[in-house]
Structure 1
Amino acid sequence: MFIGLDLGTSGLKAVLIDANQTITAEATAPLTATRPAPGWSEQAPADWLEAADQVMQALGAQMSLADVRGIGLSGHMHGATLLDASDQVLRPCILWNDTRAAVEAAAMDADPQFRAVTGNIVFPGFTAPKLTWVAKHEPDIFARVTRVLLPKDYLRLWLTGEAVAEMSDAAGTSWLDVGKRDWSDELLAATGLTRAQMPRLVEGSEVSGQVRDELANRWGLPKGVVVAGGGGDNAASAVGVGVVQAGDAFVSLGTSGVLFAASDAYQPDAASAVHSFCHALPDTWHQMGVILAAADALNWFAGVAGQPAAKLTESLGPLQAPGRPLFLPYLGGERTPHNDANIRGAFLHLDHSLDAQAMTRVVLEGVTHAIRDSYDALTGTGTRINRLVAVGGGSKSDYWVQAIATALDLPVDLPVSGDFGGAFGAARLGMMAATGAGAEIATYPEIARSITPDTSLTEAFAQAHARYRDSYVALKGLT
């Protein structure tokens, strides 16, 4: 049996799978973030440990854990967890959605070596600019920093006593040479740090350590359970949904929107705001377009309309050609392809004929156009997408999924109901580490059905997307 632990911003989820990769138990413990100042987002690492203890005990209450062989870890990326020489936490972890380091990130991004080595823009949410912010604003804390860990890797330190990171998560720090899959001494030096302050690196499917005897005894685990390197949340989710080979991709319609494509080559294009990261498996990379409001945009409009989102989408009927109205879903800025933290959303070309149903279609179309932006950015680097699977709450809307299929001119697969998220992918990585298996066990999910493009509307969606792109340029000029 194998366990996956997925450390999310709002909760820590655990799943237990058997040798056939069937989920036999699961548990979740809630987490909260604090916002002590505008643009800040922090969590107490001690809360992660308490949550992990809760979910492990909850799994043990459902099933015996005596046959567990491996544990995999997944977690939200980019967080700065700062430790002193005794591995004591120096301050709350600065999270992925914290924007306090925007000035520092811009200064680092202006240094050509960062994009050249990492293959990515230095976004304000990445780890390295946060350390530069700490050095500037909390110098006493910075002077005591002996170790910097990503969130799930602090959980690993507690589980195993080992300070280890893996490639997919490390790629989001702005310190990793993503092509060489190693820390860059030059980039570390540029932020006042050294390799000695970084954890050692392993691949996501490799053994990173063993569960400490004290915890094994507490949870009813056998002695010597291995802990895999694991993966950043999206890379682990890709392992969970079987997107591990070039040509495979998933679109996630969660709070944010992600278009994630596996690649067997490193082919960055930082200027496009595409994330080019290592995958959680050896000799594999991935590219990712990220939009900040997908289902979040629909939920926002549902709140304004005073109706549940599911009710708004369930009666839309067959897919329609986009009309003149447009929605730009930049409610909190945008990443791919604009890297624009200041842009905000807009409705354009509204008229008296629009009711709640029509406005819902416009919102779904706007997010669809944003996903098309990510698709164009990814394929523009040479990444191919032959097979696309949809996950996340938004994928329950057939109307939305067919809009995406039509806009991308690509069939979209819908898996049978099941959990194919980060925790499941982490469990698969734990299985690989414990058994020596490889990517072959990260199989594509059973597909319930495939939604095909409406070819009669492909050109209409293409024209609407062109107007959408032009509208961003016009709106940006007004800010």
Structure 2
Amino acid sequence: MYLGIDLGTSGVKALLMDDAQQVLASATAPLTVSRPHPGWSEQAPSDWIEATRDALRELAAGQDLSAVKGIGLSGQMHGAVTLDRADHVIRPAILWNDSRSQSQAARLDAMPEFREISGNIVFAGFTAPKLLWMAEEEPQLFAQVDCVLLPKDYLRLWLTGERVAEMSDAAGTSWLDTGARAWSDRLLAASGMRRDQMARLIEGSAVSGGLRGEVASEFGLAQGIPVAGGAGDNAATAIGAGTVAEGQGFVSLGTSGVLFAATDRYLPRPDSAVHAFCHALPGMWHQMGVILSASGALEWLSGIVGRPAADLTAELGTALRPPGEVSFLPYLSGDRTPHNSASVRAGFAGLSARSDRAAMTQAVLEGVAFAFADNLAALRAAGSDPAALLALGGGARSDYWLRVIATALDLPVLVPESGDFGAAFGAARLGLMAESSADPAQVCTPPRIGAEIRPDPALRGAFDEALGRFRDLYPG
């Protein structure tokens, strides 16, 4: 058996997989986010450990974990966990959706070497500007920093006692030479950091260390079993979904939205705000477009009108409608790809006295789909061109929304049969590869497809016209 642990923003999920890659059980423990000031987003790393303990205890109550042979980790990216020489946490972790370091990010991004070496824009959510903010605003605490870890790597420290990072997560720090898959002394120095403050780098399918006896005995696990390098959440999802070869891609409709394309080449295109990151497998990279509000936009509307999101989409029926006269810009939390604007905000256009709840729901679904179309255009300009997209995330339960996306992007959308193909499953697969040195091509198989949703040719022209209106509304 193999164990995958995914540290999300809202909870920790532990998943148990057998040798045939069948999911045996899973358990989730919740987390909360602290927002002590506007734009701030923090969590206590100790809460991650307690939530992981809770999830593992629930698993152990129903399963004998003594047969677990390997563990993999996945987690929210970009967060800054600062440790002193004794591995004590110096301050609460600053998370991926924290915007306090916008000015620091802009200053780093203005240095040509950051885009040149990291292959990415320095976003405020990335790790490097958080440490520069800390140096400027909390100098006494910054002086104590002996090591910076990413969130899932703090769990690894608890599990193994090792300070280790892996390529896919490290690529989101703005300190990695993403093409060379190594920390960049030049980028570290430019942001006031040193190489000795960085964790040891390995590939996601490699062994990072063995499970400590103290942790093993708590849950009935075997001491010393290998813990894989793991992956950032999106790369781990790709491992779970089998998106590991050139031309493969997925669209994820979570709170935020991701358009992900695997590639066997390093293809940076920072001017388009496309993320060019290492994949969790050696010799692989990925490109990614990000929408900060996808299912989150529908949940926002759900809260406004007081109806569950599933009821809102059900009101639209099953047959795809032509785009409505109401348009929606889905930038409730700003925009990442392709506009890179933290300040742009959402809005409806074209509302009239006859606009009803269904019209607003339709506009939200179409607005997110059109934002994905902008992401796809950016990915294609950067060198990726997926032939089809696997549909993942909670929003993928809406067949209507997937029809909108397929037609807006003019790409087939593949719907997996029932099953768990997310980040925790991908982490378990990485645990399997670390323990057995199995061929990734044999392990990272795609799920069985339950349905293929193709673009509606009769509505392609109407969707193209509506996409043009959508783009014209962008305030920039």
Same fold (TM over 0.5): yes
After TM superposition, list the pairs within 5 Å mapping 1:349-388 onto structure 2.
Answer: 349-388=350-389
Partner of 2:448: 446
Partner of 2:466: 464
User: Is residue 277–residue 287 contact of structure 2 (8 Å, CA) maintained in 1?
Assistant: yes
After TM superposition, list the pairs within 5 Å mapping 1:86-125 onto structure 2.
Answer: 86-125=86-125
Partner of 1:455: 457
1:224 offset after TM fit, Å?
2.0
CA distance in structure 2 between the aligned counterparts of 1:249 and 1:119, rounded to whole angstroms:
20
After TM superposition, list the pairs within 5 Å mapping 1:314-393 onto structure 2.
Answer: 314-317=314-317, 318-393=319-394
What is the alpha-carbon root mean square deviation over aligned residues?
A: 0.9
CA distance in structure 2 between the aligned counterparts of 1:68 and 1:380, rounded to whole angstroms:
44
Q: Secondary structure at the match of 1:66?
A: helix
User: Is residue 35–residue 41 contact of structure 1 (8 Å, CA) maintained in 2?
Assistant: yes
The number of equivalent residue pairs is: 474
CA distance in structure 1 between the aligned counterparts of 2:80 and 2:182, rounded to whole angstroms:
19
1:438 offset after TM fit, Å?
2.9
Partner of 2:290: 290
CA distance in structure 2 between the aligned counterparts of 1:222 and 1:331, rounded to whole angstroms:
46
Aligned amino acid, residue 363 of structure 1? V
User: Is residue 12–residue 28 contact of structure 1 (8 Å, CA) maintained in 2?
Assistant: yes
Deviation digits for residues 350-409 of structure 1, max 9, x if unmatched? 223322112211111111100101011001111120131101111111111011111111
1:98 offset after TM fit, Å?
0.5
Deviation digits for residues 248-303 of structure 1, max 9, x if unmatched? 11101111111011011011110111111000111000011000111111111122
User: Is residue 326–residue 359 contact of structure 2 (8 Å, CA) maintained in 1?
Assistant: no
Deviation digits for residues 280-333 of structure 1, max 9, x if unmatched? 111000011000111111111122222211111113131112133211111111
CA distance in structure 1 between the aligned counterparts of 2:34 and 2:197, rounded to whole angstroms:
27
Aligned amino acid, residue 405 of structure 1? A
Partner of 1:310: 310
Unaligned segments of structure 1, at least 5 residues: none
1:66 offset after TM fit, Å?
1.2
CA distance in structure 2 between the aligned counterparts of 1:351 and 1:217, rounded to whole angstroms:
64
CA distance in structure 2 between the aligned counterparts of 1:215 and 1:325, rounded to whole angstroms:
55
Partner of 2:408: 407
1:467 offset after TM fit, Å?
1.6
Partner of 1:50: 50
Aligned amino acid, residue 453 of structure 1? P
Partner of 1:180: 180
Deviation digits for residues 414-445 of structure 1, max 9, x if unmatched? 11121111101000000000010132211101
User: Is residue 324–residue 359 contact of structure 2 (8 Å, CA) maintained in 1?
Assistant: no
User: Is residue 415–residue 447 contact of structure 1 (8 Å, CA) maintained in 2?
Assistant: yes
Aligned amino acid, residue 82 of structure 2? L
Q: Secondary structure at the match of 2:388?
A: strand
1:55 offset after TM fit, Å?
1.7
What TM-score, normalized by structure 1, do the two folds share?
Answer: 0.98
CA distance in structure 1 between the aligned counterparts of 2:192 and 2:298, rounded to whole angstroms:
42
Aligned amino acid, residue 122 of structure 1? V
Unaligned segments of structure 2, at least 5 residues: none
CA distance in structure 1 between the aligned counterparts of 2:444 and 2:201, rounded to whole angstroms:
22
CA distance in structure 2 between the aligned counterparts of 1:18 and 1:235, rounded to whole angstroms:
21
- 1:201 corresponds to 2:169: no
Q: Secondary structure at the match of 2:89?
A: coil
Deviation digits for residues 74-110 of structure 1, max 9, x if unmatched? 0000010000111111110001111000000000000
Deviation digits for residues 135-186 of structure 1, max 9, x if unmatched? 0011011111100000100110111011000000000000000000000000
Q: Secondary structure at the match of 2:16?
A: strand
Deviation digits for residues 204-262 of structure 1, max 9, x if unmatched? 00000000112112211123210000000010011111111111111011111110110
Partner of 2:424: 423
CA distance in structure 2 between the aligned counterparts of 1:348 and 1:29, rounded to whole angstroms:
40
Query: Structure 1 stretch 339-348 or stretch 306-315: which is displaced more?
Result: 306-315
After TM superposition, list the pairs within 5 Å mapping 1:54-69 onto structure 2.
Answer: 54-69=54-69
CA distance in structure 2 between the aligned counterparts of 1:132 and 1:165, rounded to whole angstroms:
20
CA distance in structure 2 between the aligned counterparts of 1:151 and 1:283, rounded to whole angstroms:
24
User: Is residue 406–residue 454 contact of structure 1 (8 Å, CA) maintained in 2?
Assistant: yes
- 1:129 corresponds to 2:126: no
CA distance in structure 2 between the aligned counterparts of 1:60 and 1:348, rounded to whole angstroms:
52
Deviation digits for residues 448-473 of structure 1, max 9, x if unmatched? 1111110111121112111211110x
Aligned amino acid, residue 218 of structure 1? E
Partner of 1:251: 251
CA distance in structure 2 between the aligned counterparts of 1:134 and 1:213, rounded to whole angstroms:
35
Aligned amino acid, residue 350 of structure 2? H
User: Is residue 164–residue 201 contact of structure 1 (8 Å, CA) maintained in 2?
Assistant: yes
Aligned amino acid, residue 334 of structure 2? G
Partner of 2:301: 301
Q: Secondary structure at the match of 2:128?
A: helix
Q: Secondary structure at the match of 1:386?
A: coil
Query: Structure 1 stretch 44-53 or stretch 99-108: which is displaced more?
Result: 44-53
User: Is residue 205–residue 438 contact of structure 1 (8 Å, CA) maintained in 2?
Assistant: no
Deviation digits for residues 96-126 of structure 1, max 9, x if unmatched? 1110000000000000000000010000000
Aligned amino acid, residue 355 of structure 2? L
Query: Structure 1 stretch 350-359 or stretch 240-249: which is displaced more?
Result: 350-359
Structure 1's consecutive aligned runs of 4 or more residues displaced over 2 angstroms after TM superposition are none
CA distance in structure 2 between the aligned counterparts of 1:93 and 1:178, rounded to whole angstroms:
24
User: Is residue 77–residue 151 contact of structure 1 (8 Å, CA) maintained in 2?
Assistant: yes
Q: Secondary structure at the match of 1:73?
A: strand
CA distance in structure 1 between the aligned counterparts of 2:273 and 2:90, rounded to whole angstroms:
32
Partner of 1:14: 14
1:33 offset after TM fit, Å?
1.1
User: Is residue 246–residue 384 contact of structure 1 (8 Å, CA) maintained in 2?
Assistant: no
CA distance in structure 1 between the aligned counterparts of 2:57 and 2:361, rounded to whole angstroms:
43
1:29 offset after TM fit, Å?
1.1
CA distance in structure 2 between the aligned counterparts of 1:38 and 1:315, rounded to whole angstroms:
36
Q: Secondary structure at the match of 1:215?
A: helix
Query: Structure 1 stretch 173-182 or stretch 60-69: which is displaced more?
Result: 60-69
Query: Structure 1 stretch 28-37 or stretch 68-77: which is displaced more?
Result: 28-37
Q: Secondary structure at the match of 2:389?
A: strand
